[in-house]
Structure formats: structure tokens, C-alpha cells
């Protein structure tokens, strides 16, 4: 199908697919079992300029946008959703800089991020603050020309491997979510340590760690935007990044569909390939339709963001919600098509099913996405009646 990509976007798709096929495929099982961070693949992605595809040329990127990122993440995730996160999670941590960073902050950090020299992470979630992002307890106290951070962040993708972290902390707890601020924190700053590395069900090649701040002194110049803008920084970041999660989900689903079709053509029962049975054909047809519908929604939302659409929260939530639900359903169906073989680690669909589940949870659970969508519907209806 023609997705009307530019020549540059078609090249991104081709190079990402080539890396996935030649570099990721041979190692995905090993890395899933060992939980080793794929630094060798990070280097390949960096050498191919994929870390800079959504960053302006002025800062060393190639000047693309969210759609370019989605194209790359989808193709990488088609083979391994976990390994693809080294790119996708770096983008999540970088969007706050792109959206709210000062010129000096952008000049300092973006060139190395674009070159793939600096991996980035985004730190919002805490042990007691997941869906309720306004309940964060990590505090930042102004002290002269610095802020002193204290608290713990949990389940941080790229944690421990990233060199730069966008951290949301409370500068004024009395103001609730309006008292949150965003900071750029560098690995190695005194008082910044890492807790346990999580042993996860899926995306196991991606590092997920606790961040621990104990009187961590961060220069005041590392404040992103203004004090009190932290919650806005987080929400605007998610508006831009959720299509990337959706693209990851589409890639995982497409990979599972590919495996299911290949298996159904080769597996024989009752003297003929199982793909000749109408029951299997209908399953595959539904899977393919769901994947294509999810892809179309993701691309449409990504294009809208790249064309400057500001009010995109509802549509971004829709893309993440729909694509991740599709990924879960399609991967479960792929396991069913493969039957007993699908349940075995010898075949990749069980891994794809494990990887798909997280897309319904992180960057806002799908219950939260539905809440976001519904709240915008209520506001739109009220505006029409006003």
C-alpha cells in the first residue's frame, strides 16, 4: 500500500527494516533472555542517523518529525519491540527539550542526542504515582543557583543506560499538579543513583530501573521552561510521544501477523495447509484489517502533529489506545494460529505477545487514554452548545 511517504521517509523505512532484519533478528532471543541492553545495535542505529530523524537540522538532526520516528519505530518493533525502545524511549525523553528547552539547552544536548552519542530517559512515574501523575512526591527545592532533588522514580525506560534524564519533580507541593517542574538531570550528578533493574514480562532487552535522588544538586539552568510547568511539559510530551508507542504496537502486531501467515502456509493438518481452512483465513483477515486500521490512525495523527496541529491530545490518545489494543489482540491470535508451537519460546509469537502487553500500560494506561478521549468529547460538546 502507498502511504505517500517522502523519499526521505521511504529511506528511513528501508534502513530501519534492514537493521531489524540483519542486526536485531539474530539477537532478539538472546537479548530477551539475558536482558542485556543492546549497545551494539544502538551504535548501528546511530551510524545510520536514526537517532536524529525527529530533530531539527540546526541541532544535528535530519529535520523530520513524529511520522519519521513512527516509521522507524514500527519497522524495528516488527522484529523486536524491546530493542526498538532504545530509540523510542530516547525520543520520549528528548521531546521535553524540543518542546520546552531554551536555545542554550538545545545546543548543549540535542547534537549528541541526534548523533546517537547520548541516550535519554523520561522520569515521571513513582511507586505511588502512576496513572495519578499529579501525586508525585519527588521534591525539588531551590537553593541558590541550584535545585536539590529528593525522591524516587520507578519503572524508567532506559534507566541506568541513559546519560540524560528529563525528571518531573514538585517545586511547590501546595499547588498540586501546578507545583510540578521539569529538570534535565545528568547521569553522574552527585546524589543521583540507580535502584534495582526490573525483571519484566516483556520488552526485556530494554532497561527499566529505579532512579534515586538523595540531595541531588541540579544547576538552576537545567530547569525546563518555568517553575510550575512540569505537568504541562509531561502532558505535551505525551501528546507528541504516544504515536511512537502506537507505532511500536503496530510493528509488534505486524510482526506477529507475518509469523502467523508464514506458519499457516507451511503447517499441514488433514492433508493440506491450515491457511486453506476458512476459520484460519477469517482470523488472519481480521488481524490484517486491524493492523492496517491502526497503522492508518497512527500515521494520520503523526502527520497532524508534524503539520503543527496543537490540539492533538484526544487523537494522540486514540492512536495509542487503538493500536495497543490491536497489538494485544493480534499477538494473542497469532499464538492461537500457531497452536502448541505458538506457546513455545522456539517461535517468536509468544515473545511478541509478552511485548505487546506493555503498550497497553505505559505512557498512560488505556483506561487513562479513554478518560482523556471522553473528557475532550465532553468539552467539544459543551463548546458546540455554547
Active site residues: 363
**Dist. CA 293–CA 135, nearest whole Å:** 35
**Dist. CA 108–CA 280, nearest whole Å:** 54
Confirm if 120 and 158 have CB atoms less than 8 A apart: yes
Mode of pairing for the β-strands spanning 164-170 and 146-157: unpaired
166 phi, psi to nearest 5 deg: -95, 115
N- to C-terminal Cα distance for the chain? 43
**Dist. CA 362–CA 125, nearest whole Å:** 10
Nearest one of 201, 61, 192 to 118, comparing CA atoms: 61
Nearest one of 97, 18, 10 to 61, comparing CA atoms: 97
Confirm if 324 and 359 have CB atoms less than 8 A apart: yes
Cα 135 to Cα 166, 178, 375, 381: the distances in Å are: 18, 11, 20, 29
Cα 274 to Cα 123, 226, 270, 277: the distances in Å are: 47, 60, 9, 5
Position of cell 528547552? 101
Amino acid at each position: 500500500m502507498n502511504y505517500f511517504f517522502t523519499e526521505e521517509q521511504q529511506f528511513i523505512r528501508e534502513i530501519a527494516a534492514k537493521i531489524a532484519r540483519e542486526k536485531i533478528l539474530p539477537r532478539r532471543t538472546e537479548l530477551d533472555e539475558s536482558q542485556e541492553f543492546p549497545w551494539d545495535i544502538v551504535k548501528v542505529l546511530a551510524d545510520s542517523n536514526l537517532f536524529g530523524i525527529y530533530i531539527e537540522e540546526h541541532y544535528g538532526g535530519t529535520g523530520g518529525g513524529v511520522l519519521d520516528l513512527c516509521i522507524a519505530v514500527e519497522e524495528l518493533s516488527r522484529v523486536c519491540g524491546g530493542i526498538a525502545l532504545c530509540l523510542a524511549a530516547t525520543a520520549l525523553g528528548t521531546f521535553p527539550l524540543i518542546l520546552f528547552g531554551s536555545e542554550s539547552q538545545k545546543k548543549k544536548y540535542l547534537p549528541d542526542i541526534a548523533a546517537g552519542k547520548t541516550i535519554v530517559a523520561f522520569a515521571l512515574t513513582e511507586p505511588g504515582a502512576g496513572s495519578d501523575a499529579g501525586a508525585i512526591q519527588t521534591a525539588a527545592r531551590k537553593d541558590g543557583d541550584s535545585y536539590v532533588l529528593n525522591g524516587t522514580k520507578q519503572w524508567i525506560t532506559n534507566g541506568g543506560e541513559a546519560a540524560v534524564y528529563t525528571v518531573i519533580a514538585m517545586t511547590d507541593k501546595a499547588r498540586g499538579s501546578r507545583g510540578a517542574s521539569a529538570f534535565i538531570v545528568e547521569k553522574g550528578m552527585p546524589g543521583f543513583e540507580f535502584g534495582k533493574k526490573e525483571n519484566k514480562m516483556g520488552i526485556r532487552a530494554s532497561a527499566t530501573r529505579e532512579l534515586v535522588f538523595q540531595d541531588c544538586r541540579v544547576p538552576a539552568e537545567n530547569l525546563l521552561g518555568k517553575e510550575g510547568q512540569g505537568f504541562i511539559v509531561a502532558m505535551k510530551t505525551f501528546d507528541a510521544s504516544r504515536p511512537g508507542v502506537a507505532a511500536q504496537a503496530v510493528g509488534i502486531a505486524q510482526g506477529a501477523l507475518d509469523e502467523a501467515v508464514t506458519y499457516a502456509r507451511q503447517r499441514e493438518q488433514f492433508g493440506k495447509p491450515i491457511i486453506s481452512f476458512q476459520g484460519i483465513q477469517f482470523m488472519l483477515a481480521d488481524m490484517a484489517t486491524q493492523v492496517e486500521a491502526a497503522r492508518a490512525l497512527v500515521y494520520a495523527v503523526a502527520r497532524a502533529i508534524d503539520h503543527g496541529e496543537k490540539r492533538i491530545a484526544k487523537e494522540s490518545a486514540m492512536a495509542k489506545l487503538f493500536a495497543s489494543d490491536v497489538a494485544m489482540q493480534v499477538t494473542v491470535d497469532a499464538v492461537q494460529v500457531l497452536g502448541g508451537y505458538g506457546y513455545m519460546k522456539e517461535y517468536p509469537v509468544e515473545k511478541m505477545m509478552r511485548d505487546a502487553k506493555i503498550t497497553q500500560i505505559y505512557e498512560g494506561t488505556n483506561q487513562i487514554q479513554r478518560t482523556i478521549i471522553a473528557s475532550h468529547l465532553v468539552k467539544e460538546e459543551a463548546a458546540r452548545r455554547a
